Amino acid sequence: MEHLMQNINTLAQTTAVVLQWIPAHTGIVGNEVADRLAKEGSKTEQQPSNLTYSEARTLIRNRQKSTFKKKNNNGYNPHEDALHQLTRHEQTIVFRLRTGHCGLNSHLKRIGIRQSALCHCGKADQTPDHFLQTCQLHCSERKHVWPTGTSLHTKLWGSTQDLEMTAHFVNITGQRI
């Protein structure tokens, strides 16, 4: 299993890897070959292991968590995320802005509710970045909440206070997120 995980991780560095169960003998191209190879592999002698299933599972899970943190998520640790310190309402606002799945025109156009992603200011698409950082319609609210320039990263991934300020900004603009 360790060897398999190493090979998958190596392959994933240059190629998108997807593991998916496919029922046998359904006419999917390559499936018959994969099925034959899997059967051949199951007949070969397996290397003995002193690990129990539970131990192997724990090792694999820990390794995957470590790999995820290092490679796939820029070291993001959900336990260190200040999002959990916010009220439910504030969490919803920040999470929607982080993902872009929100009431801004960029998302509404993507899901077919709006004809255009353009912001009401007419300068750019209404994305979380534009709304929080540059939209001219909300300059006074932005200066009130953030008197000095604040990065988008801080507004969406910063401390509890930073995230509370982001939620407050959304509330005082009246923008539906």
End of a domain among 76, 96, 114? 76
CA distance 66 to 75: 9
Nearest of 96, 169, 92 to residue 137 by alpha carbon: 169
Is 109 in the same domain as 70? no
Is 124 in the same domain as 43? no
Name the residue range of residue 146's domain: 82-173
Residue 66 corresponds to which tokens in the numbers above?
A: 């470590």
17-56 tens-digit pLDDT: 777 766 666 666 677 777 788 888 888 887 777 878 888 8
Is 86 in the same domain as 168? yes
- pTM over the 0.85 mark: no
Question: Do residues 167 and 147 touch, judged by C-beta distance below 8 A?
Answer: no
Domain total in the chain: 2
Is 89 in the same domain as 159? yes
Q: pLDDT exceeding 70 applies to what percent of the chain?
A: 89
End of a domain among 54, 76, 98? 76
Residue 76 corresponds to which tokens in the numbers above?
A: 């993001």
97-125 tens-digit pLDDT: 999 999 999 999 999 999 999 999 999 99
Average pLDDT, the chain: 87
End of a domain among 27, 42, 76? 76
Is 166 in the same domain as 86? yes
Is 41 in the same domain as 118? no
The reported pLDDT for the residue numbered 27 is 65
Question: Do residues 153 and 129 touch, judged by C-beta distance below 8 A?
Answer: no
Instruction: Look at 8 and 18; give whichever has higher pLDDT.
Output: 8
121-139 tens-digit pLDDT: 999 999 999 999 999 999 9
Is 144 in the same domain as 162? yes
Sequence-distant (6+) residues with CB within 8 A of 5 are 60, 63, 64
